[in-house]
Structure 1
Amino acid sequence: MDINEEYEEELEAFLIWMKDAGYTPYTQKSYLADVRQFLDSLNGKQLESVKKLHVVSFLTSVRERGVSDATRNRKHAAVSCFFKALIELELYTANPAAGIKKSKTEKNREPVYLDEDDLQRFLSAIDGKYRSRNLAVFLLMSYMGLRVGEVHTLNLSDYNVERRSLRVFGKGRKWRNIPVPEGVVPYLDLALEGRLTPWRSKEEAMFISQKGRRLSIRGIQQIAADTFARFQSEVPAAHRRPYSSHKLRHSFATMLLRKGADLRTVQELLGHSSIQTTTVYTHITSREKEVAMSRLQLHMPQ
């Protein structure tokens, strides 16, 4: 059975709804893949007869295949969005994915991040033909807290040279303005001076790939993976940390809080809709705990 033919109208409607709602191409692709996987699990069942049980059964089978709780929750969100779209477009009247509990993720898990010395070594590990571009990309993530997707969507017009600020289009279709740190300015300017010639003359993307197109999310992630591999090349395999491009954002948040920035400011700079999301960065290192404990004076009665 061809899923695309069986549910062609519904999948097309869902894609139109996501585009209209402003979902990024990356999210559209992920959600469509998740929904197709769900539809495949129905074995040709009509959508009108789908019940909550079928959605729970799909999510259970996904978990049994060993995916993380976060991935299971994303698939749940995709299916729920799918039915929400069909209801809003007046194709269906009920959402069988509504009211299903999310998997509990490890909310208090300490984020993996690089301290300032490690960050310097990571940035030094950036090399190759496109070094100035890649350096600017990773500086925006590690010293301005941008997400991979936000770097990907940046346009030339988003950089205000006079004000030294960057306009960033983030999650939830929200814009935020971030001051460009003085130390980052020359590297960003250098990257823009050496910007690759785009394939289309009207291409507005700030960062261009070697193929002349907007530098993709996958492209940024791969450049980061290659740089982290060089960065940890002398570390024994068993002691290598699971670094990725997103860890640069973690490093930015950690640095800010350690330098005394208040949580609300960090929330604004990161573009978090809830301050609860920002509190995950208030982790304290073992060294700081040791220093704090060493200040305690024990006075025993004689």
Structure 2
Amino acid sequence: MKQAGFTDTTQKEYMREVMAYLESLGGLPVTGAGKINVIGFLVSKQKSTGDKTRNRTLSAIRSFYAALMDFELATRNPAMEVKKSKTESNKRPIYLDEHELLVALNHIDGRYRDRNIAIFLLMAYCGLRVGEVHRLNLANFKKGKGTIEVYGKGRKWNEIPVPEALSEYLERLQTERITPYNKKEDAFFVSQKGRRLSIRQIQKIAAQTFAAFKAAHPELADMKLTSHKLRHSFATMLLRNGVDIRVVKELLGHASIETTMLYTHVNDDQKKQAMSTINIPLDKII
């Protein structure tokens, strides 16, 4: 998994899933397990998990067997014979429009308000993942070029232009940065304990902001907002502004455009605008 560039979080999740699968075999040699064993394990978890979680578990088991085959410890991958669950593709997309993002930002407060606003802005207006915010270093912010270098999934670097207003905000924030406990620490975002701000802490900042936002707007109480939805909001915002989806793909650091399409959502006004371009020549129909 390290060689493939999996994040630490994914590695932990896959390890947990695979260990649970191995325990379910009850002593049966892993090379002696087949498709029925994989299905049995997935079914045993079905009551407490959804389709996405089931598919993640299946991906973990597939990766495990693929590794065994790479090391010549197995000759087949029974998990590849199991189909993934179909996930609901027509459910209401969850994202915030530009006005909602602004309202949500105004619910960030506290002693480290400026730092937390910067984190929120990077996810909402540059599309950074939580892990990318966590890994961001001072050296990654290129003030002269107005860009940030992002170390993303698959061990890939991506240089993202930063909106001028955000670039100025980040530059000011550097002077207010908490002094790290370790003088050599280059993390852009530092916790009150002087350490690199953790992924969990970043998620907590977003969760607290959304909780306050929804408390002030009861009509949005059922909206399942997470830090990752800010990335969806960023992609959707670009699409609404007429940005080519291929450019959106590069900014998000995706390997395929199909993945990018999952992050972009078309609203009703865009549908109406598209349909208004159609001319039906009823007057010419005889």
Aligned residues: 283
Residues 1-302 of structure 1 mapped to structure 2, 5 A cutoff: 18-63=1-46, 65-236=47-218, 239-289=221-271
Task: Give me the TM-score of the superposition, normalised by structure 2.
Answer: 0.90
Q: Is the 8 A contact 1:142 1:249 kept in 2?
A: yes
Distance 1:237 1:45, change over 3 A: farther
CA distance, structure 1, for counterparts of residue 112 and residue 267 of structure 2: 35
The share of aligned pairs that are identical, in percent, is 52
* Secondary structure, aligned partner of 1:176: strand
CA distance 1:221–1:253, change in 2 (3 Å): same
Query: Partners of 1:119 and 1:146 in 2: how far apart?
Result: 15
CA deviation after TM superposition for structure 1 residue 114, in Å: 0.7
- Secondary structure of the equivalent of 2:164? coil
User: 1:264 aligns to what SS in structure 2?
Assistant: helix
8 Å CA contact retained: 1:133, 1:207: yes
* Structure 2 gap ranges (5+): none
Once the two structures are superposed, residues 51-76 of structure 1 have per-residue CA deviations (whole angstroms, 9 ceiling, x without a partner) of 1211111112222x231211111111
- Give the structure-1-normalised TM-score: 0.85
Over 3 Å counting, the alpha-carbon distance change for 1:247 and 1:46 in structure 2 is: same
The CA distance in 2 between the partners of 1:107 and 1:192, in whole Å, is: 42
Given residue 285 of structure 1, which amino acid in structure 2 is its aligned partner? N
Question: In structure 1, how many angstroms separate the alpha carbons of the residues matched to 2:208 and 2:18?
Answer: 32
Contact 2:141 2:149 (C-alpha < 8 Å) held by counterparts: yes
Deviates more, 1:163-172 or 1:185-194: 185-194
Give distance in 1, aligned partners of 2:116 and 2:26.
46
Q: How much does 1:174 deviate?
A: 1.8
Q: Deviations over 1:126-178 (max 9, x none)?
A: 11111111111111111111111111121222111211111111222221110
Amino acid at match of 1:159: F
Q: Post-superposition shift, 1:88?
A: 2.2
CA deviation after TM superposition for structure 1 residue 298, in Å = 9.3
Contact 1:110 1:283 survives alignment (8 Å): no
RMSD: 2.3
> Using a 3 Å threshold, how does the CA distance of structure 1 residues 293 and 268 change in structure 2: closer, same or farther?
closer
Decide whether aligned partners of structure 1 residues 108 and 280 sit closer, same or farther in structure 2, where only a CA change above 3 A counts.
farther
